[in-house]
Amino acid sequence: MNKSLLPMLALVLLAVGCGREDKAIAQTRKAAEQGVAEAQFGLGDYYYHGVGVGKDDAEAFKWMSKAAEQGLAEAQYNIAFCYRDGIGVDKDEAEAVKWYRKAAEQGHADAQFWLGDCYHYGKGVDMDFAESFRWMKIAAEQGHKTAQGVVGTCYLNGIVVEKDEAEAIKWFRKAAEQGDEESRNLLKEIEK
């Protein structure tokens, strides 16, 4: 989650915990209607999870989209998933890629990983292993554990890059240190 959103969300959760849920939602809605991207994101999140309002995927998408259009990376990432899975909007993999890219270009590691995944499987874009690896490596360098495992696998098997067991071990270790079981198991196999 975007760290700039945490103070606002913490206040809303505090208000909800104190039985002032209606007031917290009303204040968030007012700020969202005034164009505050973080409030739009928050309101979309409330609708998605049904916190203080009825669960409504279309309304969640509407508010998340407003925040995404203003450049909020976390909202861009979330609406990419909505397009990918058809949540509150018709499924559209090409549109998902567009929004993953916007968030990824702002440094959103999860979006970078999923953009790499789209290139790997040809979802919404032409299959392109080199582009997939590029985005996976960017995410891995930011500490995304699953991307680190993927990068390790590429080095281990010589996929898009030259085979390099030492480099593979380096990436598997990084992922394993964060609890990635698959990387931990691959390390055990390599180091036997």
- Domain end residue (candidates: 46, 66, 91): 91
Nearest CA among 128, 150, 127, 126 for reference residue 138: 150
Q: Could you tell me how many helices (H) and strands (E) the chain has, helices first?
A: 11, 0
Six-digit token string for 59:
């309304």
Verify that 119 and 189 share a domain, yes or no. Answer: yes
Six-digit token string for 87:
């949540």
Verify that 67 and 84 share a domain, yes or no. Answer: yes
For 81, the domain range is 1-91
- Domain end residue (candidates: 91, 116, 140): 91
Per-residue pLDDT tens, the chain, 192 aa: give them.
444 454 455 545 545 555 567 788 888 999 999 999 999 999 999 999 998 899 999 999 999 999 999 999 999 999 999 999 999 999 999 999 999 999 999 999 999 999 999 999 999 999 999 999 999 999 999 999 999 999 999 999 999 999 999 999 999 999 999 999 999 999 999 988
**Cα(91)–Cα(84) distance, integer angstroms:** 6
φ and ψ at residue 6, rounded to 5 degrees: -60, -45
